[in-house]
Amino acid sequence: MVRPKVTVVLGSSRPCGVDVSFYGLARQTFTDFEVVFVDALYHRRHAAVLDFARKVGLRQPLYHVPNHRYAPPPWTAICAGFNTGLALAAGEIVIMLLDYGYVEPDWIEAHLDAHLFRRRLVFGPYTYFDVPVDAWQTNDGAPPRL
């Protein structure tokens, strides 16, 4: 198996909203990616998710997995899902996406450009925010650590 350049980890604990995300992912100009969709409602909609992904034209590998870790919804279930998605990601670069988030066709390319050129950007599903350099770096020039 060839390792993809990018893994998009998509998390959801809500009954709908992944249609808009899949639609945007299917139209990406950069195509060397996989999607790990960690879904708290997995058992109720597995067949429907796979069918919809095919219907909108998502040709990249899609792994639809249950949210293995228990966390009460709504936001904590998505965070636990992201942890599961990170553990399963095969890509060199991992990008997180929440359900209900539409992504423009160059969304993955913008992430790769920021990574390649070491731009300090924080990406959200709806907009991009420029983070000031002094907020990103410590005094020695390294990224901040928790």
> Where residue 146 falls among pLDDT bands split at 50, 70, 90?
very low
Query: Residue 10: which of 63, 48, 72 has the closest Cα?
Result: 63
- Distance between CA atoms of residues 11 and 143, nearest Å: 26
pLDDT at residue 44 above 90? Answer: no
Instruction: Name which of 3, 18, 7 is nearest 98 in CA terms.
Output: 18
Contact between 52 and 25 (Cβ < 8 Å) = no
Helix axes 18-26, 42-56, angle to 10 degrees: 30
Measured distance CA(114)–CA(105) in Å, rounded: 16
Task: Look at residue 116 and tell me whether its pLDDT is greater than 50.
Answer: yes
pTM: 0.76
Give the pLDDT confidence of 47-102 residue by residue, as tens digits.
989 998 998 899 999 999 987 665 666 566 667 778 888 889 999 888 988 887 88
145: CB partners within 8 A, 6+ apart:
138
| pLDDT band with cut points at 50, 70 and 90 for residue 128 | very low
* C-alpha span between 35 and 18 (Å, rounded): 12
Q: How are strands ordered across the β-sheet holding 62-66? A: 62-66, 33-39, 6-12, 93-98
